[in-house]
Amino acid sequence: MSVAELASWNDGSAKSAIIEFVAQVEREVAPEERVAVFDNDGTLWCEKPAYVQLDFLVRRLAEQAAADPSLAGAQPYLAAASGDLAWFGDAVTQHYNGDDSAMKVLARGILSAYAGMTVDEHAEHVTTFFARARHPVLGRPYTECGYAPMIELLRHLEAHGFTTYIASGGGRDFMRPVTTAMYGIPPERVIGSSVGLDFTDGHLRTTATPEFLDDGPVKPVRIWGRTGRRPIFAAGNSNGDIEMLQFTDAGPGPSLSLLVRHDDVAREFDYVAGAEKALGLAPRRGWVVSSIRDDWATVFS
């Protein structure tokens, strides 16, 4: 793949760093060691004004509140029934700032939302959601909210012998039905948060028991558990990606850690909430910061 094929990237330090890194890897790193990991929310697709999966879950929580009025007066059902997405966003921001009080309340609702469904039934719910739902601000289907420069970057790395993985705090089984079509990444290369599963009568069923929250220090643990390798390329955008980036750049050979900065209010969103620590660490750790405003010629395909 030629440099010109990264057409969604403006010429600049971020694009140059990627090109130079890939050239070095081709000279110095065996193909089997070329592992690249990407966060999803805010790195591969849009995460504002709320996470895509949150829209999916809020709809389910509102359905449950309507079916059982005893739930409607308590969070997170109260926020879901009233359409108060700010409550959910605040819970996530507080989590990234070290306060998990609201996140624990949210987690209990999330864990019970689809408990008892088979994994096939859950996948059908996800597929139906993506077929109908649209981004509330951008007005486009969620499946068209993937970032064109990052998808090009996936292809660029793969063309040079990399194996690409998603390592996201989002739900593994929420992402898997759409990652092949959106990103060209098959389900077996999706690492994410998960709940426990039970096997009965030939079916796997979801439980209300958490298995992994694939965020922060858990990310490198899960990456190693799934791949058996230390990545040499990682891309993220938030404080929850710090440990993944640190794990990547602590290796003995060439590596590149990329941090997406959301600073384009005209084409996407402008925010640093939940990314303050990561952005502060970037210059000291030598991480490449990709400004959406300055480094991306286009945002969405």
**What would the pLDDT profile of 116-172 be if each residue is shown by its tens digit?**
999 999 999 999 999 999 999 999 999 999 999 999 999 999 999 999 999 999 999
Confidence of residue 59 (pLDDT cuts 50, 70, 90): very high
Are 219 and 260 part of one and the same domain?
yes
Same-domain pairing of 69 and 209: no
Task: Tell me which long-range contacts 25-32 makes (C-beta under 8 A, separation of at least 24).
Answer: 25/160, 25/161, 25/162, 25/232, 25/254, 26/160, 26/161, 28/253, 28/254, 29/232, 29/253, 29/254, 31/161
pLDDT at 4: 60
Has residue 138 been placed in a domain?
Answer: no
- Could you tell me if residue 289 is inside a domain? yes
Question: How far, in Å, CA of 278 to CA of 259, rounded?
Answer: 8
Specify whether 35 is located in the same domain as 175. yes
Question: Within this chain, do residues 57 and 41 fall inside the same structural domain, yes or no?
Answer: no
Segments forming the whole domain that contains residue 111: 52-132
Query: 241 and 215 in one domain?
Result: yes
Give whole-number Cα distances, 97 to 198, 228, 240, in Å: 34, 30, 10
Check pLDDT > 60 for residue 191.
yes
What pLDDT, on the 0 to 100 scale, is given for residue 50? Answer: 86
Under DSSP, is residue 215 helix (H, G, I), strand (E, B) or coil? coil
Q: Is residue 301 part of a domain?
A: no
Residue 107 has pLDDT above 70, yes or no: yes
Residue 181 domain flag: yes
The torsion angle over the Cα atoms of residues 83, 87, 93 and 99, rounded to 10 degrees, is -150
Inform me whether the pLDDT recorded for 2 exceeds 60: no
Q: Are residues 162 and 234 in the same domain?
A: yes
Q: Which residue has the tokens 């890897």?
A: 25
Is residue 208 included in any domain, yes or no? yes
SS3 237: coil
Same domain, yes or no: 156 and 243: yes
Q: How confident is the model at residue 91 (pLDDT cuts 50, 70, 90)?
A: confident
pLDDT digits (tens, 9 = 90+) for 261-296: 999 999 999 999 999 999 999 999 999 999 999 999
Q: Which of 81, 109, 132 delimits the end of a domain?
A: 132
> Is 63 part of a structural domain of the chain?
yes
- Distance separating alpha carbons of residues 134 and 151, to the nearest angstrom: 20
Q: What CATH number should be reported for the domain holding residue 265?
A: 3.40.50.1000
280 and 262 in a common domain = yes
Q: How would you classify the pairing of strands 288-291 and 233-236?
A: unpaired
Contact by Cβ (8 Å): 294, 12: yes
**213/82 Cα distance (integer angstroms):** 27
Domain boundary among 132, 164, 185: 132
Contact 239, 232 (CB under 8 A): no
62 with 191, same domain?
no
Say whether both 87 and 21 belong to one domain.
Answer: no
Residue where the block lists tokens 């971020």: 14
Tokens (6 digits) for 185: 């990444």
> Residue 3 above 80 pLDDT?
no
- The token pair that represents 96 in the structure block: 């990234």
Tally of structural domains, the chain: 2
The dihedral formed by the CA atoms of 9, 152, 178 and 164, expressed in degrees to the nearest 10: -120
Are 205 and 85 contained in the same domain?
A: no
The last residue of a domain, from among 82, 108, 132? 132
- Count how many residues are written for the chain: 301
The phi, psi pair for 160, rounded to 5°, reads -110, 30
Q: Does residue 39 share a domain with residue 177?
A: yes
Residue 15 pLDDT class (50, 70, 90 cuts):
very high
Q: Is residue 137 one of the residues assigned to a domain? A: no
Would residue 99 count as lying in a domain?
yes
Q: What is the mean pLDDT of residues 52-68?
A: 92
